[in-house]
Structure formats: structure tokens, C-alpha cells
Structure 1
Amino acid sequence: MRERLGRTGVWLAPPTLAVTPADVERRAATRIEELGYGSLWSGETIGGKEAFAHHGILLAATRTLVIGTGIANLWARHGAAMHGGGATLAQAYPGRFVLGLGISHRPLVEHSGQSYDRPLRRMTAYLDQMDAAADGAPPAPFPRVLGALRPRMLELARERTDGVQPFLVPVEHTARARRILGPDKLLIPHQAVVLDTDPVSARATARANLAARGLPSPYANNLRDLGYDEDDLAGSLSDRLLDAIAVWGDETTIARRVQEHLDAGADHVLVHPLAGAGTVPDPRPDDVPAMVEVLERLAPALPLGPSPAG
């Protein structure tokens, strides 16, 4: 799977894709494949586009692109249904589907009428459900990775899955995750990008998309672990913290950040273009074409193919 993924893929936000017509998504996925990106990922909010139906559309629209759920929400279905959905897509599109799954965070879960507690225990039990369901599902292997951030969830991923897909993380997290995971597990971090060389407008775009309402507690707690303090996390984030989780600048600057993740131990980096008239909290249907335009400009500068070492 490492060789098939290459070094750089794409992540698009679920709220953005929720308002994007399917035919626009198909065209975007086809173009992302043509540009040489190795993968396309999106997540799942309960009540939004259902993960397996949605990612099946993207698989059907492309020929070689790896499609990943980043993440499929475990609160949306029983573990047996999660495994069965993954196996169904893996059987239909061998070698092209990666199941990323995650615990989400409290406000979204409680909004759906469920009780969010003890995330590590919940994830462990959920993986047990998935494993117990394997005998009844299509016999099609697929990688599963966790949306893990902090050490204990990273350790669980090391013991029970094929790796991790951490969201909203600086390069220092990638280095820490690799130390915990060891050399063999997949490490696929998210990297928000703003193709804009003006610091004022670029940071305004990043804040509007990532931090207009503050960071949910799992991300804030992870950043505290990495040495960011309450001044960094207050309000819509300090410039220091914002610049760590969202890179802005020209094509070369953005490519350099991707390479820093790779040098720190990432196998594959998911660039998340922040572009368009809307934002992640307030998306518009024409945001995806604007994001594809950014990806077109970035592609010549980014490390897209397999690692030179293999």
C-alpha cells in the first residue's frame, strides 16, 4: 500500500463535500488522479454523506486513485457494519480502499443523541466488534487506520491496526507518532495548506477554516502535549500555533512542509487546500473547483510519487 499511495494525497472536509453535487465530486476526483496525487480522503459526520456510499462514488469515478475514509465515524454504525462496509468496497476495488476510523469528539456525538465517554475503551471494544465480524464479510483485505492523536491511542493503533491518520497536527507530532508506532505502521498526517504569500490574508483564511470556533478538545489536548500553551490555544489561536498546523505561502513553501512531514517519518501526507468563497464551517457548492485549482498549482512542486527509497 505504501508504494501505491505515493508520498502526497488530498483530504477534503466533510462539510465541504456535503454541499457539493456528486457530479462535481466525480470530476474533482478524476482531476486529482490525473494530477498524480496518490489518494483522496474525506471524513464523515453523522447525518451527512454516509461514508461507504460516498467513498464508493469516488472509487467508481477513478481508476487507480486510493480512496480513504478520514475518518469513518464509529458512532454512525456497529463495528460489524463498519467491517462489512470496508470489505465490500475492498472486494469491488482491490488495493484501492483504506478504512480510516475514529472516535470523533464530544459535541458532535452528543448532538446525535449518544453518550461520549472513555474513548480509548470504546475504540478497543469497537475493534473487537470488527474483528468478530470478519468471518461473515466478503473475504477482501483492506488496511484500517485510526484517527489517533495521543500516545495511548497511537499505541492501540500500533497493536490492532495498520497505522494512523492524524488530523490537524504539526510536524513534531509526526515525529512523535513514528517513534510510538515503530517503523512498519502507516503514518498519514493531515496538512492544511493556504496558497497565499500574504501573511495577513493567509492566516485569516486558515483561522476562518480551522479555528473560528476554537479547537475541539481532542486537538487542543494533543497540542498541549506537544508544548503549546493556553496563550497559543486561546480564541482563534496564536500565529505560532496556526502556522504549525496550517502552512501558507507559495508552492515551494508548501512543498517544503510536506517534505518535513515525510522526513519526520510520515509515509504519505494529505494536503487539505483551504480555498474558495466558503469555509469548512460555512461551505459553498463551488468551493471544490477552487480547491482543485490550488491542487493543480501545487502538483508540480509536491513530492507525488513513491519514495526514492522504495
Structure 2
Amino acid sequence: MPSPTPSPAVGVLLPRDLPTHLILPFARRAEELGFGSVWVVEDLGFRGGVAQAATVLASTSRIRVGIGLLPAGARNVAFAALEIATLAQLFPCRTDVGVGHGMPGWMRSVGQWPRSPLTFLEEYIDALRALLRGEGPEVRGRYVHLDGVRLEKSALPDVVPDILAGVRGPKSLAVSGRVADGTILAEPVTPEYARAALGHIGTTRPHRLVAYNIGSVGAD
């Protein structure tokens, strides 16, 4: 069953360097204030996205939690499916997952930058969505290889979370339109940028658009 598409909503981004003791109060306060979502950040050298998402989900009751972004090269697709399916089982209809190329410098520093990032991301998202739907795809791609791998029925979520591609360039946006459930645009997002991005995405099926923008919040 696909994840119900939420209505347009305003969310907040949990800062990647927020002191640990403030993470849960931040998320709970966002929920109290009526925000539709809170996004956690996975950046090399800071904190893991899946662990943060699980903790925030367990400490709130309504707000959606997005992960932005899991770098495809750093997470084997089958094991990423295990983590995502677990979150979706425990907290149905509350999880969104962003997947991207990862920052080239960071990915090269850990030896995980492919020759063709576009091919890799397309193979990865396509396989990830198939695994979460309970399929056992035989994949012999350029980068993604799956042989008899599938999630057990007891591990499958009733509602498959949306997999969104966090991408920027025209060719990457086209990949997102082909294989992802939505696209996360990098800040700053102007109306002109959003219109141009939609043109590159070019999908004919339902496709979510998540826009990051920089704002400021007072002490209260």
C-alpha cells in the first residue's frame, strides 16, 4: 500500500549541530506548534539520520519525520530497506526518506563516489522501492546487485513510506522524476527554481516536492 500523500504543510529542519539535549525538546515543540514535519539531517561527521528519526518518532505522536539525506553510496540498498521498513512498521504514515548522491567531497573521502552518480542513484532508488513493496528484484545493474533478496512478509510495512530524491542538477531531477516518489530541492528555493525543477522532473505520476529554505526563529 503506498503512503498517503500528505497535504501541503510547513515543516522545520532540526539543525545538524544542535546540542544533544535539545533534540527532543526541539521536535516536541515543533509538534506542539502545529508544524507538519520535522526533518533530521545525516551529514558526515555529525549524526546518523535513521537513529535520529527513530528517536524523534518515538518521542512524538503526530508529526511526520523526514530523513534528509541518506547518501546512496554509504548504505547498501538491502540494509537501507531493512532500516526504513522497520521505521515504517513502528510508526506508520509518519516517515519520509530522502536519498541522494551525497556530497562529492565527503563520498570521495570514504571511497564511495561512483563513476556515474546518476546511474547509481537510479538503480538504487528503483531497487529500494521494490524491496519495500515486498518484491524480490533480480538486479544486475552497473552498481546495484541483488540476488534472491527480499524482505520477509513479517518485516514489510503496511504502508510503504515515500522515497524522495534529494537532488539539484537537471539530469538528477530527471532521474527523480523517473524513479522517486518526490524530490527534495536544495535551498534557497525560489518560485522560478521550483518551476524549472518541475520541468526537469517531468513526471506524469503523483510526485511530491519538498523545498528547503533558510529562515530564522526567535528565542521564544
Please say if residues 41 and 47 of structure 2, whose CA atoms lie closer than 8 Å, have aligned partners that are also in contact: no
| Equivalent in the alignment of 1:267 | none
Question: Following superposition of structure 1 onto structure 2, how do residues 24-35 of structure 1 map, counting pairs within 5 Å?
Answer: 24-35=22-33
Residue 188 of structure 2 aligns with which residue? 169
Residue 139 of structure 1, aligned match among 153, 156, 159: 156
Give the % identical residues: 25
Instruction: Give the match for residue 34 of structure 2.
Output: 36
Give the TM-score normalised by structure 2.
0.79
More helix by share: 1
Q: Which digits, 9 at most, give the CA deviation of each residue in 1:18-65, with x for residues without a partner? A: xx21x4111110000111110011221235322211110111111100
Q: State the Cα distance separating 1:75 from its structure 2 match.
A: 2.4
Structure with greater contact order relative to length (CA < 8 Å, sep ≥ 6): 1
TM-score by length of 1: 0.57
Question: Which letter maps to 1:11?
Answer: L
Question: Aligned partners of 1:76 and 1:39: how far apart in 2?
Answer: 25
SS in 2 for 1:188: strand
The answer as to whether partners of 1:55 and 1:68 remain within 8 angstroms in 2 is yes
Distance in structure 2 (CA, Å) of the matches to 1:184 and 1:113: 35
Report what 1:119 is aligned to: 117
Count of residue pairs brought into register by the alignment: 193
Report if the CA contact (8 A) 2:40-2:52 is conserved. no
- RMSD, aligned CA: 2.1
The aligned counterpart of 2:103 is 105
Where in structure 2 are there 5+ consecutive unaligned residues? 135-149
Q: For residues 93-117 of structure 1, what are the alpha-carbon distances to aligned partners after superposition, in whole Å with 9 as ceiling and x for unaligned?
A: 0100001111112111112233343
SS in 2 for 1:54: helix
CA contact under 8 A between 2:165 and 2:176: conserved in structure 1?
A: yes
Hey, what does 1:150 align to over in structure 2? 169
After the TM superposition, which residues 239-258 of structure 1 pair with which residues of structure 2 at under 5 Å, given as runs? none
Could you tell me which runs of 5 or more consecutive residues in structure 1 were left unpaired when the two chains were aligned: 194-272, 274-290, 297-310
SS of equivalent residue, structure 2 residue 11: strand
Inter-partner Cα distance in structure 1 for 2:32 and 2:47:
25
Partner Cα distance (1:162, 1:153) in 2:
14
Which residue of the other structure, out of 77, 80, 83, is the alignment partner of 1:79?
A: 77
Take 2:126 and 2:5, find their aligned partners in 1: how far apart are those partners? 26
